[in-house]
Chains A and B, each alone.
Chain A
Amino acid sequence: MSKQIKEPFLHITKRKEMPARRAWAIRISAIVAALIVCAIVTTLTTGLDPIAVYSAMIDGAVGSSRKVLVLFKELAFLLCISLALTPAFKMKFWNLGGEGQVLIGAWATSVVMIYLGGVLPNGLLILVMLIAAIGAGAVWAMIPAFFKAKWGTNETLFTLMMNYVAIQLVAYFIILWENPKGSGHVGIINQSGREGWLPYIGTNSYLFIIIFVAIITIGMHVYLKYSKHGYEISVVGESQRTANYVGIKVDRVIIRTLLLSGAICGFTGWMMVSGTDHTITTSLAGGRGFLGIMVSWLAQFNSIAMVFAALLLVFLEQGAGEISTSCGLNQSFGDILTGIILFFIIGCEFFINYIVHVRKSSGKEEA
């Protein structure tokens, strides 16, 4: 390299391909660094020593068999939403509407549960609820997809707005369904007869949910990796022009993929109402629609890696919940820790994708 007078001090080039093992080493060291920063933040705010805090966290997340089951249930929900959003992202369609799609699925489930509960036999009722939820989620996702495919309407902003339309719609129905009147809550739906509740295994139906999501995980992996649809999705994601050129109907792929994305979100809503909560609130999705985007992104759209990414976030949240209660702090502490870890992981991708050259020592890496 010839020495020029105005060579910049730092010079960045794109890396060809980093061996997977090194890439994961970088990611894991980023997580470790993030955990150290989290420990410092925790110590500064609570005055506890970090080792005690982390052992309290581990205890809070997996301390008893009951806690492990709850951890897996939370993992299943987050994972399911992440899986739902993944095909859309792979196509470079920013579906930020997971929150709304889950909620509208939950809403459709509740409608059927309230108005047909006791009318239909229980098995049929659950089936109708399921179909309603999947349909509602799919329609909610299809509306922005249709406008994107037809007129190129910005889907990031459109899906984002759809969340709040869904939230207000549900808020309206919550007040209609209030029980008892004036409480602002729906209360447990069909508490006496348990119409429309998923059957219990032991004291709850978490096991069903975990099995459902495991099936979806494998199904999504196969769908994206080995099916023709999955191939079309990745071509459209790489370049819409190429897709057009090879004869893929881009608008159809966009609408079809979003129908699938919304349907799985709606399915999650069904699981939440029929399987665990048996009620509906506007915060049912609880930010998982957004967190799912992170999971999908961190796992680089790989369904299996997503299990671990989701596990990390759920673990933190459950663990931080324990610290909050034991120290009398606020539940939101987990969000701060999650944020810090996300920033580190997002930042470390740079060192996987790029090389930094320092002047006068060309080729030397700083990563």
Chain B
Amino acid sequence: MFDLVSFIPRAIIQGMPLLFGCTGETISEKAGSLNLGIPGVMYVGAMCGVIGAFFYEHSHQGTDLNPFLAIMIPFLSCLIGSLLMGLLFAVLTVTLRANQNVVGLAMTTFGVGFGNFFGGSLMKLTGSSVPSIALSKTSIIFSKSLPFANDMGWFGKIFLSYGFMTYLAIVIAIITAYILKRTRVGLHLRAVGENPATADAAGIDVNKYKYFAICIGCMIAGLGGLFYVMDYASGVWSNDAFGDRGWLAIALVIFTLWKPNIAIFGSILFGGLYILHLFIPGAGMAVKELYKMLPYVVTILVLIITSMRRKREHQPPESLGLPYFREDR
């Protein structure tokens, strides 16, 4: 019997890092910047949060943590780390006009290296005696759910059993969808991504929009990394455990056709596909790997079908990945 009540919460928890990454990447892509550095940004975001929490937890050994500080310190360090990565991407691609794909891949190399390096060396560098990074106290605060969730049966389990960052992810996705679709800022942002020359002629500051879109996008994506460590992994950092979720987030952007509100369901679906093998009775170890292929295959199919049907509203932003130089026209 397929146990839906325990399947859905696990799918949601798997999906939320993807949702953060996907929302961030969507904002960036809507402004015409294909940021392939997102996997690196998520690593950096996670690691900066871990470093912040590590120092806070270790300065308060034995005593109880102040819940507000325990959340705000990792949160802010994560945002600052991802913001710096975003600025790096923006300076190189917008101001210095370097190729987006090359910069993005370099950022991924750097970011994954950054995460794994500090993940493996933080204890040694700080001379602390603990064998591995386990921030269980911080994690408990991060994943605290509403107190009455357990009393409400299956309803509580499916809808209320999560830490605050799950709801934050969904709220950010909804707000982003609203801003992109219904506000003037969103309209300008999409104009920059579709045709920067026209946007420029209409008096929109193309570079300013690109900078903001890239930086905000990276900060949101970085939170996905933080969510993964603090909530999903219960505060335990292990190298490469985050895996290919960053690329999966980029796949999700295509799968949801650049719409963050659809991405809420898309991320849960992807999360579900990722863990489906655990719930299929009789699926062996080997077949489990084939199930993990599903999100990518589905994304490829979406990519092919949308390009064949050529429906205007389903296409990638027109100038995605292309640089814009006013002087080139």
Residues of A participating in the B interface, judged by any CB pair closer than 8 Å: 12-14, 45, 94, 96, 147, 151-154, 156-158, 160-165, 167-169, 171-173, 175-176, 287, 290-291, 293-294, 297, 328-336, 338-340, 342-343, 346-347, 349-350, 353-354
Query: How far does the alpha carbon of A171 sit from the alpha carbon of B291 in the complex, in Å?
Result: 11
Query: How far does the alpha carbon of A332 sit from the alpha carbon of B303 in the complex, in Å?
Result: 34
- The 10 closest A-B CB pairs, nearest first, are A335-B113, A339-B110, A330-B120, A168-B293, A332-B116, A171-B289, A175-B286, A350-B96, A342-B106, A153-B307
Considering the complex, give the chain A residue whose CB is closest to the CB of B89.
Answer: A343
Minimum CB–CB distance from B141 to chain A (whole Å) comes to 28
B290 in contact with A168 (CB, 8 Å): yes
B92 interface contact, C-beta 8 A? yes
B293 in contact with A338 (CB, 8 Å): no
B327 in contact with A14 (CB, 8 Å): yes
Question: Which of A45, A151, A287, A339 is close to B304, meaning CB atoms less than 8 Å apart?
Answer: A151
B287 interface contact, C-beta 8 A? yes
Question: Which of B88, B250, B293, B327 is close to A169, meaning CB atoms less than 8 Å apart?
Answer: B293
Considering the complex, give the chain B residue whose CB is closest to the CB of A13.
Answer: B327
B297 interface contact, C-beta 8 A? yes
A347 in contact with B96 (CB, 8 Å): yes
B97 in contact with A338 (CB, 8 Å): no
B65 interface contact, C-beta 8 A? no
A297 in contact with B102 (CB, 8 Å): yes
B105 in contact with A294 (CB, 8 Å): yes
A158 in contact with B300 (CB, 8 Å): yes
A294 in contact with B97 (CB, 8 Å): no
Considering the complex, give the chain A residue whose CB is closest to the CB of B309.
Answer: A151
Give 22 CB contacts A-B under 8 Å.
Answer: A12-B327, A14-B325, A94-B101, A96-B101, A153-B303, A153-B304, A154-B316, A158-B304, A168-B293, A171-B289, A175-B289, A329-B124, A335-B116, A336-B110, A336-B113, A338-B113, A339-B110, A339-B114, A343-B110, A346-B96, A347-B98, A353-B97
Q: Which residues of B contact A94 (CB under 8 A)?
A: 101
Q: Which residues of A contact B101 (CB under 8 A)?
A: 94, 96, 156, 293
A332 in contact with B244 (CB, 8 Å): no
Known contacts A14-B327, A330-B117; A290/B109 CB under 8 A: yes
Minimum CB–CB distance from B24 to chain A (whole Å) comes to 16
Query: How far does the alpha carbon of A164 sit from the alpha carbon of B160 in the complex, in Å?
Result: 33
B109 in contact with A161 (CB, 8 Å): no
B120 in contact with A338 (CB, 8 Å): no
Q: Which residues of A contact B120 (CB under 8 A)?
A: 329-332
Q: Which residues of A contact B303 (CB under 8 A)?
A: 153-154, 157-158, 161
B292 interface contact, C-beta 8 A? yes
We find that the number of chain B residues with CB closer than 8 angstroms to chain A is 58
Query: How far does the alpha carbon of A147 sit from the alpha carbon of B307 in the complex, in Å?
Result: 9
Considering the complex, give the chain B residue whose CB is closest to the CB of A354.
Answer: B97
Query: How far does the alpha carbon of A293 sit from the alpha carbon of B36 in the complex, in Å?
Result: 13
Considering the complex, give the chain B residue whose CB is closest to the CB of A175.
Answer: B286
Q: Which residues of A contact B99 (CB under 8 A)?
A: 297, 346
Q: Which residues of A contact B107 (CB under 8 A)?
A: 339
Known A151-B308, A291-B109, A343-B88; further 5 A-B contacts with Cβ < 8 A: A157-B299, A169-B290, A171-B289, A175-B284, A339-B114
B92 in contact with A347 (CB, 8 Å): yes
Query: How far does the alpha carbon of A12 sit from the alpha carbon of B296 in the complex, in Å?
Result: 42
Q: Which residues of A contact B316 (CB under 8 A)?
A: 154
Known contacts A333-B117, A346-B106; A156/B34 CB under 8 A: yes
Question: Which of A152, A160, A168 is close to B289, meaning CB atoms less than 8 Å apart?
Answer: A168
Query: How far does the alpha carbon of A168 sit from the alpha carbon of B292 in the complex, in Å?
Result: 7
Minimum CB–CB distance from A139 to chain B (whole Å) comes to 15
A172 in contact with B251 (CB, 8 Å): no
Considering the complex, give the chain B residue whose CB is closest to the CB of A10.
Answer: B95
Q: What 1/0 flags go to B14-48 for Cβ under 8 Å of A? A: 00000000000000000000101000000000000
A332 in contact with B300 (CB, 8 Å): no
Considering the complex, give the chain A residue whose CB is closest to the CB of B291.
Answer: A168
Considering the complex, give the chain B residue whose CB is closest to the CB of A333.
Answer: B117
Considering the complex, give the chain B residue whose CB is closest to the CB of A298.
Answer: B102
B321 interface contact, C-beta 8 A? yes
Query: How far does the alpha carbon of A171 sit from the alpha carbon of B277 in the complex, in Å?
Result: 14
B121 in contact with A330 (CB, 8 Å): yes
Q: Which residues of B contact A157 (CB under 8 A)?
A: 250-251, 254, 299, 303
Considering the complex, give the chain B residue whose CB is closest to the CB of A147.
Answer: B304
Query: How far does the alpha carbon of A153 sit from the alpha carbon of B103 in the complex, in Å?
Result: 23
Question: Which of B103, B109, B293 is close to A335, meaning CB atoms less than 8 Å apart?
Answer: B109
Q: Which of B302-329 contact A (CB under 8 A)?
A: 303-304, 307-308, 316, 321, 325, 327-328
Q: Which residues of B contact A342 (CB under 8 A)?
A: 106, 109-110
Q: Which of B90-136 contact A (CB under 8 A)?
A: 91-92, 96-99, 101-103, 105-117, 119-121, 124-125
Considering the complex, give the chain A residue whose CB is closest to the CB of B40.
Answer: A339
A330 in contact with B293 (CB, 8 Å): no
Minimum CB–CB distance from B18 to chain A (whole Å) comes to 14
Q: Which residues of A contact B307 (CB under 8 A)?
A: 147, 151-154
Considering the complex, give the chain A residue whose CB is closest to the CB of B292.
Answer: A168
B285 interface contact, C-beta 8 A? yes
Question: Which of B113, B116, B119, B328 is close to A339, meaning CB atoms less than 8 Å apart?
Answer: B113
B109 in contact with A339 (CB, 8 Å): yes
Q: What 1/0 flags go to B259-302 for Cβ under 8 Å of A? A: 00000000000000000000000001111011011001101100
Q: Which residues of B contact A164 (CB under 8 A)?
A: 244, 247-248, 293, 296
Q: Which residues of B contact A160 (CB under 8 A)?
A: 36, 247, 250
Minimum CB–CB distance from B86 to chain A (whole Å) comes to 14
Known contacts A152-B307, A172-B286, A172-B287; A332/B112 CB under 8 A: yes
Question: Which of B91, B103, B108, B286 is close to A290, meaning CB atoms less than 8 Å apart?
Answer: B108
Most buried by A among B88, B101, B111, B125: B101
Query: How far does the alpha carbon of A66 sit from the alpha carbon of B189 in the complex, in Å?
Result: 55
Q: Which residues of B contact A147 (CB under 8 A)?
A: 304, 307
B296 in contact with A168 (CB, 8 Å): yes
